Amino acid sequence: MGEAVQRRFTVLTAVVAALGMTATLSGCGEDSGTGDVTLKLVAADYGTSAANSSEKYWSGLVAGFEKANPGIKVEVNVLSWKDVDRKVAEMVKEGKAPDIAQIGAYADFAKADKLYSVDQMVSIRTQANFLPSLTDAGKVDGTLYGLPFVASTRLLFYNEKLFDQAGLKAPKTWDDIQSGAAALKAQGVKYPFALPLGQEEAQAETMMWLLSNSGGYVDDVGLYDIDSAQNIATFTWLRDNLVGKGLTGPVAPGKLDRAKAFEAFTKGEVGMLNGHPTLMEEAEAKGVKVGMVPLPGAEGPTKGSMGVADWMMGFKQNGNRQAIGKFFDYAYSDENVLAFADEYDLLPVTGSASAEMETDNKHVKLREFLAALPNSQLPPFGKTSWATVSESVKKNIGEAVAPGGSPERVLGAISAEATRAESAE
C-alpha cells in the first residue's frame, strides 16, 4: 500500500502544483457575515477516560488555528459517541446547527441542504490529498459533503496468555470461536468472547458479523438487505452458540458498550473480541499480549475487513463558509492529522499522512491495518437514511441475541425502518 499511496500523492501534488491550483475556493460566493467570527464545533470523544479525552487534541489544534487566523475563534464541545450523533441531529432540528461537526454520519444533512459541499470550503490541495476510497464514501449524488476525519479497520483480537493457558490456537472459523470460548470459560475467563452490542457502537460490531457470513447491510446493487437469510443465520448462530451457551460474559451483549468491553480486555478479563488499533496499544501498554487475525467466518477467515470512517462537515446555517474552510485546511495538515492518529492509534485519511505513517518504524504495528484499508468495506455512509438505520441498529440489535430473542423479527423491524427512511428521502 505504501508505494501506491506515495505514488498517488506525488502525482496529485505534481498536477496541483503544475496547474497553480493551490488557492482555496472560498471566493465562490460570499459569507453572510463580516468581521470577527466564532465557529462552534461539536466533536466526538475518542478517549477512554478523562486522561485521554479528545478535548486535549482539539484544545491544542484550536490554539494553533486561532493564533494563525486572528479574528476567528472556535468553541469546541466534545461529546460521548453514545450521544454525539443524536445531539447534533437535535441541534439541527431546533435551528441551532453548529458550524462544524465531527460525527459518524453526514448524508441526511447533505440531502436536506444543510451542508456546504467540500469544494465550497477547502483548497484543492486539501481535497486532492484524501484517500479516494474514503472520499467515495463521503459523497451524496456524486457531490462530496463529508470530509473523512479518521479511519480504522477491524481485526479479531485475542489474549495470547489466556489462549496459551487454555491450549488454544488463533481461531479461523465460527466453530473455532465457539470451542475456544468454551475452553476459556472452563479456565474461569470472565468474558470468553466479548460481544458489545450496546448503543455505543453496535452498528459496527453488527456489520463485522454480517460480513463474516458474506452478508451486510446492503446487497450488490446498494439496496438495504438487512433481514436477508444470511444475516438472520448469523445472528441466530450468535444467539445459540455464544450468548445462549454463556460464553459472552456477565453483561448481556445488548447492555455491553464497546468502551466497557475494551476496558475489560486491557485488564486481561477477555479472551476474544473484535478490536481496532487503539485497543492494541492500550492493551499492550497494560501488559496484555495481543494476537490479531481476520475475523473468523462461517467457513473460514472473512475476506476483506470492515472499514470505519468518521466525518467532518460544515453547516450552512450561520453563513461562516470561509472561516470553516480555513479551519479545515488547517486541521488537515499532516501535523494535525498524524497527531490525532498517533494519540488514538487510528489511521490517517490523507495520502501524505498515510505514506509518512507507513514509512515510520514507530508505526510498524499499524501496517496490517493500513494494508487492509484500501480493500475494506465501509457502512453505507452515502445513504441519507444511514443515520436513522444506524440508530435503529444501536437501539435494537441486542434483542436479536437475547435468550428467547428472534433475529428474524429484530432484523425485520430494522429493515422495515430502513425502507421507511429511504422512502422518506
Q: Write out pLDDT tens, residues 215-274.
A: 999 998 889 999 999 999 999 999 999 999 999 999 999 999 999 999 999 999 999 999
- Alpha-carbon distance of 68 to 416, in angstroms, equals 50
Reduced to 3 states, what is the DSSP secondary structure of residue 88? Answer: helix
Strands (E), 2-94: 37-44, 72-79
Give yes or no for residue 32 having a pLDDT over 70. no
Lowest mean pLDDT among 13-22, 71-80, 275-284: 13-22
pLDDT value of position 425:
62
Residue 23 gets which letter from DSSP?
A: S
Across the chain, mean pLDDT equals 89
Residue 250: CB atoms within 10 A of its CB come to 10
Within 258-311, residue ranges assigned H as helices are: 258-266, 277-285
Q: 305 versus 118: which is more confidently predicted?
A: 118
pLDDT-based confidence at 31, cuts 50/70/90?
A: low
- Residue among 78, 89, 26, 13 nearest 325 (CA): 26
DSSP state, residue 282: H
Q: Please give the backbone phi and psi of residue 230, each rounded to the nearest 5 degrees, phi first.
A: -65, -45
pLDDT at position 21 is 39
pLDDT class of 10 with cuts at 50, 70, 90: very low
What pLDDT sits at residue 11?
A: 40
Identity of the highest mean pLDDT range in 9-13, 153-157, 181-185: 181-185
CATH class of 153-304+379-421: alpha beta
* Cell numbers placing 18: 503544475
CATH topology of domain 36-151+307-375: D-Maltodextrin-Binding Protein; domain 2 (3.40.190)
Whole-number pLDDT of residue 35: 61
Q: List CB contacts of 50: < 8 A, sequence separation 6 or more.
A: none
pLDDT confidence band for 365 (50 / 70 / 90): confident
Round to whole Å and give the CA distance between 81 and 165.
Answer: 35
**Residues 295-333: tens digit of each pLDDT:** 999 999 988 788 888 999 999 999 999 999 999 999 999
12 pLDDT tier (thresholds 50, 70, 90): very low
Enumerate helices (H) and strands (E) in the chain, giving the number of each.
19, 11
| Residue 16 grid coordinates | 496541483
Residue with cell 469546541: 76
Confidence at residue 265, expressed as pLDDT on a 0 to 100 scale? 98
Lowest mean pLDDT among 64-68, 145-149, 370-374: 370-374
Q: With cut-offs at 50, 70 and 90, classify the pLDDT of residue 366.
A: confident
pLDDT digits (tens, 9 = 90+) for 164-208: 999 999 999 999 999 999 999 999 999 999 999 998 889 999 999
Query: Which residues on adjacent β-strands are paired with residue 307?
Result: 153
Q: Give me the amino acid identity at 355.
A: A
Name the percent of the chain lying above pLDDT 90: 69
**Residue range(s) of every CATH 3.40.190.10 domain in the chain:** 36-151+307-375, 153-304+379-421
Which phi and psi (to 5°) does residue 147 adopt?
-90, 120
339: pLDDT strictly greater than 60: yes
Angle of helix 386-396 relative to helix 407-423, nearest 10 degrees, comes to 160
